[in-house]
Amino acid sequence: MGSTAIGQGKVLATTLEMTSIAATIALGGRRARPTLLADQLPRVTRVTSPSVARTIRGLMIQVVRSGTGTKASLPGVTVAGKTGTAELGGPPGANEDPSNSDAWFVSFAPARRPRVAVGVLVVKAGAGGDVAAPLAAQVLPTALSRARAR
């Protein structure tokens, strides 16, 4: 139970599921079910209170400002994010090898008036803050630009 609470052990979540969680926080606790078509309106359901979502948003902002996700920061844009390092298991000491961990990072921006949510998973690559967060920083500007154009 203790390892499950921190996302280790038999926790299985896809990148889309984790990005959907980030988007839910961005939407103030309302989950918009992901769709495949841009012109298809998603079904929206409240899954947590606005107060809880605000608290988590603040924590996610701190992850990028001064925590494990600083490599996802962008000039002039407040990014909210969460890093992850999924250890793949194996014999004792196996988790010391970066190739025995999946790196992930989920984010949304701008943090106060979110327009996009981005999720990155890099398989067998090490720590999320070192590997996946910088990739999100590369994707976010284009995603924001396209979102503003709509």
Q: What is the pLDDT of residue 62?
A: 98
Look up the pTM and report it: 0.87
Q: 10 Å Cβ neighbour count for 85?
A: 22
Q: What is the pLDDT of residue 45?
A: 97
Give me the helix-helix angle, 15-26 and 50-66, nearest 10°: 110
Go through the domains of the chain in sequence order and give each one's CATH number. Answer: 2-149 (3.40.710.10)
Q: What is the pLDDT of residue 86?
A: 79
**Measured CA angle at 135 (ends 129, 138), to 5 deg:** 130
**Interval 50-63: pLDDT, tens:** 999 999 999 999 99
Question: DSSP state, 25?
Answer: H
Strand partners, 74: 77
Contact (Cβ atoms closer than 8 angstroms) between residue 80 and residue 107:
yes
Q: What is the pLDDT of residue 89?
A: 72
Check whether the bond before 134 is cis (ω within 30° of 0).
Answer: no
**Interval 41-52: pLDDT, tens:** 989 999 999 999
Q: Which two tokens stand for residue 100?
A: 């025995």
**Interval 70-98: pLDDT, tens:** 999 999 999 999 999 877 777 666 567 76
User: What's the mean pLDDT in 9-24?
Assistant: 87
